[in-house]
Structure 1
Amino acid sequence: MILAVVTDTLAVTDTLAQFGNPTPEAPPVSDKILQLIRYFTWFILLSGVTAITYAGGRFAWEKWTGGGLESPKMVAGAMIGGAVATSAGTIMNAVL
């Protein structure tokens, strides 16, 4: 009886060992998803450049008119947001 259990265990182990290392394969629609991600990345970078340009113009306007300086916060926020957005891929690779 013990010999039968050992033989069955070895047969199952041998069957599992035959699977080997599967090679990773991309999903069928991954090229469209990656294209969409590239479009979003481009849009995020464009919006970041636009935000920094707008904040710089507003900073100059506030200095010229003598108003309160709110735009340095906008510049800092745009720069921090751009740093997080451009490093999102690196952050996700580190997490996963």
Structure 2
Amino acid sequence: MIMASALDTLAFYDTLAQIGNPSPEAPPISDKFLQLVRYFTWFVLLAGIVAIIFAGGKFAWEKWTGGGLESPKMVAGAMIGGVVATSAGTIMNAVIG
């Protein structure tokens, strides 16, 4: 009787082990969400390019007029922001995965 109970328990756990390993599946609206993420990525890259161009023009203006140099900080900030923004997916995969 004890042996039959133990075998029933093992069979139950074996069944749970087979059920508990589902394969991942994307949600139904994930394609629209990923399209939105691609739009945001494009916008962030465009904003970074515009920021670097603006900072470069400001740097030339500051050099030409002899004013204080604040634009190298802007260029560095735009570049660091661009690196973080474009590697966000890789960073999240490293943290979560």
Task: State the TM-score, normalized to the length of structure 2.
Answer: 0.89
- Which whole-Å CA distance do the structure 2 matches of 1:50 and 1:18 have between them? 54
Residue correspondences, number: 96
Q: How does 1:6-85 map onto structure 2 within 5 Å?
A: 6-19=6-19, 21-85=21-85
Q: Aligned partners of 2:94 and 2:47: how far apart in 1?
A: 26
Shift of 1:20: 7.1
Q: Deviations for 1:29-73, whole angstroms, at most 9, x for unmatched residues?
A: 100100000000000000000000000000000011110000000
Gaps of 5+ in 2: none
Runs of 4+ in 1 over 6 A off after TM superposition: none
- RMSD, matched Cα: 1.6
Query: C-alpha displacement at 1:15, in angstroms?
Result: 1.7
Question: Any stretches of 5+ residues in structure 1 without a counterpart?
Answer: none
Q: What TM-score comes out, normalization by structure 1 length?
A: 0.90
